[in-house]
Chains A and B, each alone.
Chain A
Amino acid sequence: MNSEVAVTPNERVLMVDNLGIEYRIGTEWKKAVRDVSFSIGRGESLGLVGESGCGKTTVAMAIMHYLPRNGRVSDGSIRLGGREVEELSPSELRQVRINQVSMVYQDPAKSLNPSIRVGRQVEDVFELMKVPKDEWDDRVIDILERVQIADPGRVVRRYPHQLSGGMLQRVVIAMAIASEPELLVLDEPTTGLDATVEAEVLDLISNLRAEMGTSLLFISHNLAVIRKMCDKVGVLYAGRLFAEGSAESIFTDPRHPYTVGLLRSLPTDDVSRDEAKLDTIPGTLPPLGAEIVGCVYADRCPIVQDICRKEEPELNPLEGNRTSRCHFPERAPDLPRTVAEDPPQRQISDSTLLKITDTSKTFEQEGRPVFALSDVDLSIKVGETVALVGESGSGKSTLAKVILGIHVPDEGGVIELGGDVLEDSVQSRSGDSIRSVQMVFQNPDSALNRRHSVRRIVGRAVQRLRGLGRKRAHEHTRDLLTEVRMGHQHLSAKPSHLSGGLKQRVAIARAFAGSPALVVLDEPTSALDVSVQAAIINLLSDLQAEENVAYLFISHDLNVVRYLADRVAVMYLGRLMEVGTAERIFGGPHHPYTEALLSAAPDRDEGTRIRLEGEIPSASDPPPGCPFQTRCHRKIGEICETVEPPLAEVESGYSIRCHIPIEELARLQQTTPEKS
C-alpha cells in the first residue's frame, strides 16, 4: 500500500514546531502539550499514538484551530501548507478548513445533526465549496459512492439515527474528503465500531489515500490500527513527544522504555494466561500541568537512573532516521520485565457450575417481537473462563443479563447453578445464589455511584452479600481492597478522584464481596488504556486462581480473549454459532462467521480479509434458515436459506452450527492463507 503513494519529502503539508498548548483551569494556565514537533509530507501518513490524557486530541484541535475557549497555543508554530495557523484571519481560516484540511471525529453520530437528512448535510459541504446548486445532487451521490456506500440514493434520504455506526462514519469521511483536502485529520475514527466494520473503514481510508494522495494525521490509542495505517509514528506521553520514526521501527524495534512497555502490555497470539503474566506499566500519568524536574516518565520507568530525575532528555536522533526522548535509548530493547512472577497455578474442576438449557429471550418493541436470544445451551465449569464473542447486537449482553436475573428469560429455559435451578428474576433468587453470581460492568463511571465513597460502595456490597454487621463489613472491605491491589488510602475517595484502572478495581472488589462462584465480566477492559488493561487482566487472572471463581467474559478484543479464555462461545443474532476450547476456536477450522471475525483484526493482512456483506440483520426480523446466510461467504446453496443448522457437537467439546461438514470447512480454510 505504502509503495503506491508518491511521497515527496520536500513538500510539507503540515509542519508543527516546538508546539506548546495550555489550558486554563480555574485561574491557572496549565501546560497540556510541550515542545512537540513533527511534519507531514504530501501523501504521507503520520500516526499519533498514546494513552488517554497524553494530548493527542489537543494537538489535533490546535491544528484545526478548534481549541476550546480555555485552551491556547502558548509556544511554537503550526503551519498548514506553509501558512501559520495562529495568524490566519477568520475568513482565511474558513477557506483553509474548506479546502486544505478536514477532520473526522471519533463519534460519527455526534458529528452529524440528528434532525437533518444525511443528504442535506453532505450538500452543505458543496455549498461551502461554492459548487453551483444544480450540481449538488450528483456530487452528493458521487462522493457517497466513493466511500463505498452501496445505495447512496436511499442513504441521502435517511436521518443519522436510521443508519449504523459504520455507515455514519462513511458519510462523515465522505464529507471530509469532498473538497479533496491536502490533509485529513482522523481522531480515533474507528474506536466505537465493531472489529468487522473497523476493518472496512480502515480499508476505505487506505484506498482513498492511495487514490487521492491525501496526507493523513491519524490519532489512535490502538497500536495495531496505527501500525496498519501509518508510515510514520509519533508516541505522545504527558504532552511530550517521546519517540518518532517509521512505523516499522517504532513497533518492531522500539527505543523508548515507554513504547517498549506499551507493546509488551498487549496480549499476543502465542501466549496464554497460564504461560506468562502480561507486563504492565506501573504508576500513572502525571497530572495536567505538573512541573516535573527531569524526565516525566522517570517514576514509571524500569531503567531509571539518577540523571533521569535531574535532567529532561532531549528528543535525541538515533540511527535509522528516528528519535527518542530518553537518556538511554540503547537500553530500551532489553527492558527488564516489570511483572516477573510466574502466572498463578489454577485448576479447573470437571464439575459443572452453570448450565443453561434452551434459554430464549424475546423483547417486545412497538408490538413486534425481538428475538434477542434463541435456544442457548451453554455450560461453565467451576473455575473456568468462558468467553462470549460476537459483533454488537449479537446478544452477548442479553445472555449475561439473563444469567444475572436482570432480564427474565422466556418460558421453557432452565438455568442451573451448581445443580440447583436458579429462579428467573434476581428478586426471587435466594441470598446464596445472588451472592454466587455477580458482575463487573464495562464502564466503571456508570457502574460506581459517583456520590458514594469507595468504602461505602464496597462496604455496602459486603454487608448485603455476606450479611455482616457494619464493623465486620468494614474489616472485610479493607481485605478486599488489598486483594485487588489497592491501597487503603483510597477508602474515603469518591470514584471521580480515581483513575480508570482504580475505578475498575473498585468494581471488581465489589463483585468479589460475597466470594462469588461466577463473575460476569462485560468488556471489563475496553474503557481502559492498554497499560491499565494489562494490570486488570493480570488481577482477574490472579483472583480466579485464588478464589476458584468462574468467569463469563464478554469481549470484542480477540487477543484478550485468546489470552484469558479457556473456552470460547461465538454468538450471532442471539444464537451460539460455535463453542469450543480457545485453542480449537482460534486454531480452526472455524465457523465461517468466526473466520470473518478473526480476519477483521487490524494486524491481519488485507489480502486475507473476509468482507462481511452488509450489516447484522435486525433481531426482530431474523433471516430464514441459517441466521448468518445473508452475509456468509461460504454459503453452499438453498439449504442455508431454508433450514437452520443445529448446533452439533462434531468433536468432543466442540460444537458448530453450520451446514458445511467440518472436514469440508478445514479443506476450504486451508486454501486461503491464514496466519494462525
Chain B
Amino acid sequence: MTLMWVFLAVFGEAIAPFDPLGVPEDVLNRLDSPSADHWFGTDQLGRDVFSRVLAGARQALTVALGATVLGTVVGTLVGLIVGYFGGIVDDIISRILDAFLSIPLVITGMIALTALGPNTVGVVIVIGLVFTPLIAKTVRAAVLAERQLDYVSAAQLRRENPLHIMVVEILPNVTNVITVEFTVRLGYAIFTVLALSFLGFGIEPSVPDWGLAIANHYQFLTNDVWWPVLFPAAAIASLVVGINLLSDGIAQAYE
C-alpha cells in the first residue's frame, strides 16, 4: 500500500486522467457525483477528484518525508551526543528537549507558519524541528545502553576520538532503533502536514493537497456531497496505515 502511494507520488500527475490543476471547460460539472468519466466525482471548481487524489500523494509524501528526514538527522545527532557524553551535557540538553516537547505540536507549527507565510520549505523545517526532540530522546536511550558495552571501552583504550566512537562504533548499532523511529514519525508527519494544510497553513491554495481538499469541501457534506471529502480522507488513512504496517514489519525484522 505504501509502495503504491510512493509510486503515485512520483507518477501520479502523469497517469491522472485529467489535469489535477486544470478546470474543465464545462463549469456545470462542479460537484458532480462519481461517474464513469470522473471516478471520484468533481470538486467545487469542477476539477477531477480522482486526479487530485493521485497528484496529492506527492505533496503529502515529499513534505512529510522531508520533515521526517530532517528531524531524524538532527535528532540522531543530538541523541548521539547527549547519550555518549552524558553527565552535564545530558542534563542541559535533555531539559531543553523536554521544554520543546511540552509545546503542542500543531500550535507551534501554526505560529511558526504564520510568521513564515505559506511555503513548503517552511513546513518541512517546522515539522522537522518539532520532531527532533522526540527522536533525540529515543536515540539517546539506545545510545546509553550501547555506551555500557565493552566495545566502547575498547575503542577508548585505543584513544579513538569521540566522533569516531559515536559515528563508526555506536551509530551502526542503533540504526535499527532509528529506522523504526523514522517510519513511526513519518506516519505522524503526514498527519501533521495534512492537519496544517486543512487548517490553511503552509500550502499554496492551488497545489493538489488532501488536507486542503477536505477543508474546502467539508461544508458540502450536509448536502450529500461526500466524494470530495471521503476520497482524500481514505487516501490519508490508507497511506498512514500502510506506513505503520511497514514500521511494525521493520521493528519485527530487527527482533
Enumerate chain A interface residues (CB-CB to B < 8 A): 404-406, 426-427, 429, 431, 434, 438-439, 441-443, 446-452, 460-461, 464-465, 510, 514
In the bound assembly, the distance between CA atoms of A426 and B158 in angstroms comes to 9
Tell me whether B158 and A406 are in contact (CB under 8 A). Answer: no
Tell me whether B159 and A434 are in contact (CB under 8 A). Answer: yes
A-B contact pairs, 29 of them (CB 8 A): A405-B157, A406-B153, A406-B156, A426-B157, A426-B159, A427-B159, A429-B159, A431-B159, A438-B157, A439-B153, A439-B157, A441-B150, A443-B150, A446-B149, A446-B150, A447-B149, A447-B151, A448-B151, A449-B151, A449-B169, A449-B173, A451-B172, A451-B173, A452-B169, A452-B172, A461-B158, A464-B159, A464-B160, A465-B158
In the bound assembly, the distance between CA atoms of A271 and B42 in angstroms comes to 92
Q: Which of B154, B156, B159, B160 has the most CB of A within 10 A?
A: B154
Contact pick for A510, options B154, B159, B169, CB 8 Å: B154
Contact pick for A464, options B151, B153, B158, CB 8 Å: B158
Chain B: interface residue total (CB-CB under 8 A): 13
Enumerate chain B interface residues (CB-CB to A < 8 A): 149-151, 153-154, 156-160, 169, 172-173
- Closest partner residue, chain A, to B158 (CB atom): A464
Hey, which chain B residues are within 8 Å of A427, CB to CB? 159
Tell me whether A426 and B156 are in contact (CB under 8 A). Answer: yes
Tell me whether B157 and A404 are in contact (CB under 8 A). Answer: yes
Known contacts A449-B169, A450-B173; A439 and B154 CB within 8 A of each other: yes
Measured CB to CB, the closest approach of chain A to B136, in angstroms, equals 21
Hey, which chain A residues are within 8 Å of B160, CB to CB? 464
Hey, which chain B residues are within 8 Å of A443, CB to CB? 150
- Closest partner residue, chain B, to A427 (CB atom): B159
Hey, which chain A residues are within 8 Å of B173, CB to CB? 449-451
- Closest partner residue, chain B, to A439 (CB atom): B157
In the bound assembly, the distance between CA atoms of A221 and B160 in angstroms comes to 38
Q: Which of A406, A434, A451, A465 has the most CB of B within 10 A?
A: A451
In the bound assembly, the distance between CA atoms of A153 and B173 in angstroms comes to 46
Hey, which chain A residues are within 8 Å of B158, CB to CB? 434, 460-461, 464-465, 514
Measured CB to CB, the closest approach of chain B to A436, in angstroms, equals 11
Known: A438-B157, A446-B151, A452-B169. 20 other contacts (CB 8 A): A404-B157, A406-B157, A426-B159, A434-B157, A434-B158, A439-B154, A439-B157, A441-B154, A446-B149, A446-B150, A449-B172, A449-B173, A451-B172, A452-B172, A460-B158, A461-B158, A464-B159, A465-B158, A510-B154, A514-B158
The 4 closest A-B pairs by CB, nearest first: A451-B172, A447-B150, A441-B150, A464-B158
Measured CB to CB, the closest approach of chain B to A512, in angstroms, equals 12
Hey, which chain B residues are within 8 Å of A438, CB to CB? 157
Tell me whether B154 and A447 are in contact (CB under 8 A). Answer: yes
Hey, which chain A residues are within 8 Å of B154, CB to CB? 439, 441, 447, 461, 510
Hey, which chain B residues are within 8 Å of A439, CB to CB? 153-154, 157
Measured CB to CB, the closest approach of chain A to B200, in angstroms, equals 46
Measured CB to CB, the closest approach of chain A to B255, in angstroms, equals 14
Hey, which chain A residues are within 8 Å of B157, CB to CB? 404-406, 426, 434, 438-439
Hey, which chain A residues are within 8 Å of B149, CB to CB? 446-447
In the bound assembly, the distance between CA atoms of A461 and B151 in angstroms comes to 12
In the bound assembly, the distance between CA atoms of A446 and B153 in angstroms comes to 10
Hey, which chain B residues are within 8 Å of A465, CB to CB? 158
In the bound assembly, the distance between CA atoms of A461 and B150 in angstroms comes to 14
- Closest partner residue, chain B, to A447 (CB atom): B150
In the bound assembly, the distance between CA atoms of A443 and B150 in angstroms comes to 8
In the bound assembly, the distance between CA atoms of A451 and B153 in angstroms comes to 16
Hey, which chain B residues are within 8 Å of A404, CB to CB? 157
In the bound assembly, the distance between CA atoms of A452 and B154 in angstroms comes to 14
Measured CB to CB, the closest approach of chain A to B222, in angstroms, equals 53
In the bound assembly, the distance between CA atoms of A443 and B153 in angstroms comes to 13
Hey, which chain A residues are within 8 Å of B151, CB to CB? 446-449
Measured CB to CB, the closest approach of chain B to A557, in angstroms, equals 20
In the bound assembly, the distance between CA atoms of A514 and B153 in angstroms comes to 17
Q: Which of B158, B160, B172 has the most CB of A within 10 A?
A: B158
Contact pick for B153, options A434, A441, A452, A460, CB 8 Å: A441
In the bound assembly, the distance between CA atoms of A465 and B158 in angstroms comes to 6
Hey, which chain B residues are within 8 Å of A514, CB to CB? 158
- Closest partner residue, chain A, to B148 (CB atom): A446
- Closest partner residue, chain A, to B152 (CB atom): A449
In the bound assembly, the distance between CA atoms of A22 and B12 in angstroms comes to 51
In the bound assembly, the distance between CA atoms of A446 and B173 in angstroms comes to 12
Measured CB to CB, the closest approach of chain A to B197, in angstroms, equals 40
- Closest partner residue, chain A, to B170 (CB atom): A449
Hey, which chain A residues are within 8 Å of B159, CB to CB? 426-427, 429, 431, 434, 464
In the bound assembly, the distance between CA atoms of A510 and B154 in angstroms comes to 9
In the bound assembly, the distance between CA atoms of A447 and B151 in angstroms comes to 4
In the bound assembly, the distance between CA atoms of A104 and B153 in angstroms comes to 35
Q: Which of A404, A405, A446, A449 has the most CB of B within 10 A?
A: A449
Measured CB to CB, the closest approach of chain B to A274, in angstroms, equals 30
Hey, which chain B residues are within 8 Å of A451, CB to CB? 172-173
Measured CB to CB, the closest approach of chain A to B156, in angstroms, equals 6
Measured CB to CB, the closest approach of chain B to A58, in angstroms, equals 21
Measured CB to CB, the closest approach of chain B to A104, in angstroms, equals 28
In the bound assembly, the distance between CA atoms of A451 and B171 in angstroms comes to 10
Measured CB to CB, the closest approach of chain B to A402, in angstroms, equals 13
In the bound assembly, the distance between CA atoms of A494 and B95 in angstroms comes to 38
Measured CB to CB, the closest approach of chain B to A65, in angstroms, equals 25
- Closest partner residue, chain B, to A404 (CB atom): B157
- Closest partner residue, chain A, to B174 (CB atom): A451
Measured CB to CB, the closest approach of chain A to B129, in angstroms, equals 29
- Closest partner residue, chain A, to B159 (CB atom): A434
Measured CB to CB, the closest approach of chain A to B173, in angstroms, equals 5
- Closest partner residue, chain B, to A462 (CB atom): B158
Hey, which chain A residues are within 8 Å of B169, CB to CB? 449, 452
- Closest partner residue, chain B, to A463 (CB atom): B158
Measured CB to CB, the closest approach of chain A to B240, in angstroms, equals 31
Measured CB to CB, the closest approach of chain B to A675, in angstroms, equals 37
In the bound assembly, the distance between CA atoms of A451 and B176 in angstroms comes to 11
Measured CB to CB, the closest approach of chain A to B181, in angstroms, equals 18
In the bound assembly, the distance between CA atoms of A652 and B173 in angstroms comes to 51
In the bound assembly, the distance between CA atoms of A448 and B149 in angstroms comes to 9
Hey, which chain A residues are within 8 Å of B156, CB to CB? 406, 426
In the bound assembly, the distance between CA atoms of A465 and B160 in angstroms comes to 10
Measured CB to CB, the closest approach of chain B to A467, in angstroms, equals 11
In the bound assembly, the distance between CA atoms of A442 and B149 in angstroms comes to 11
In the bound assembly, the distance between CA atoms of A446 and B146 in angstroms comes to 9
In the bound assembly, the distance between CA atoms of A449 and B160 in angstroms comes to 14
